[in-house]
């Protein structure tokens, strides 16, 4: 058996690295809003996080193309990963230190968030369904 050409090895390594990186980025795009929903219980905050993800891409998308052209592909990938790593590491660090809000602290002062957590109405269909399925006996 002959060895694959030397050009194929770097290309294969780049392809594998790109697949791993893209998979991680896409998982983070789903996991971060989900994390916000689970820890705060607020769909409004989850929506804000999702909007912030897309606004960042929209605002920095076109200008970053010019920067990438000026820096070159290798330096651009290294710089973006070095800038993104501390930001991603900040999420669990803030959660572990208690700096991020938890479900028990309801946000106030935001015009789009109600002043108190919503209470379930017994007349709603989901409340009746949940009550019927969780009653003992």
| pLDDT tens column, 86-132 | 988 888 888 788 766 554 444 544 555 555 555 555 556 655 665 55
Q: What is the pTM of this model?
A: 0.56
Domain-embedded: residue 71:
yes
71/63 Cα distance (integer angstroms): 13
- CA pair distance 68, 79, nearest whole angstrom: 10
Which pLDDT value is given to residue 132? Answer: 59
Rounded mean pLDDT, 71-77: 86
Domain-located, residue 115: no
Across residues 45-55, what is the average pLDDT? 88
Would 70 be classed as within a structural domain?
yes
CA–CA dist 126, 122 (Å, integer)? 9
Strands (E), the chain: none
Is 107 a domain residue? no
Q: Does residue 131 lie within any of the structural domains?
A: no
Q: Please check whether residue 95 lies inside any domain of the structure.
A: yes
Does the pLDDT at position 71 exceed 80? yes
pLDDT of residue 134: 57
Q: What is the pLDDT of residue 81?
A: 82
pLDDT attached to residue 105: 47
Task: Please tell me the total count of domains within the chain.
Answer: 1
Most confident of 5-14, 49-58, 109-118: 49-58
Residue 52: inside a domain, yes or no? yes
Question: For residue 76, is it within any domain?
Answer: yes
Domain housing 68: 8-101
Mean pLDDT of all residues belonging to the chain: 76
């Amino acid at each position: 058996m002959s060895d694959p050409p030397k050009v194929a090895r770097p290309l294969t390594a780049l392809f594998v690295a790109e697949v791993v990186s893209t998979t991680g980025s896409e998982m983070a795009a789903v996991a971060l809003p989900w994390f916000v929903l689970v820890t705060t219980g607020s769909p409004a905050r989850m929506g804000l996080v999702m909007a912030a993800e897309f606004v960042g891409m929209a605002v920095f998308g076109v200008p970053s193309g010019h920067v990438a052209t000026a820096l070159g592909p290798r330096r651009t990938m290294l710089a973006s990963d070095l800038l993104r790593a501390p930001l991603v590491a900040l999420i669990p660090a803030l959660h572990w230190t208690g700096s991020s809000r938890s479900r028990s602290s309801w946000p106030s002062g935001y015009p789009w968030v109600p002043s108190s957590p919503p209470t379930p109405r017994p007349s709603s269909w989901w409340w009746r369904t949940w009550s019927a399925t969780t009653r003992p006996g």
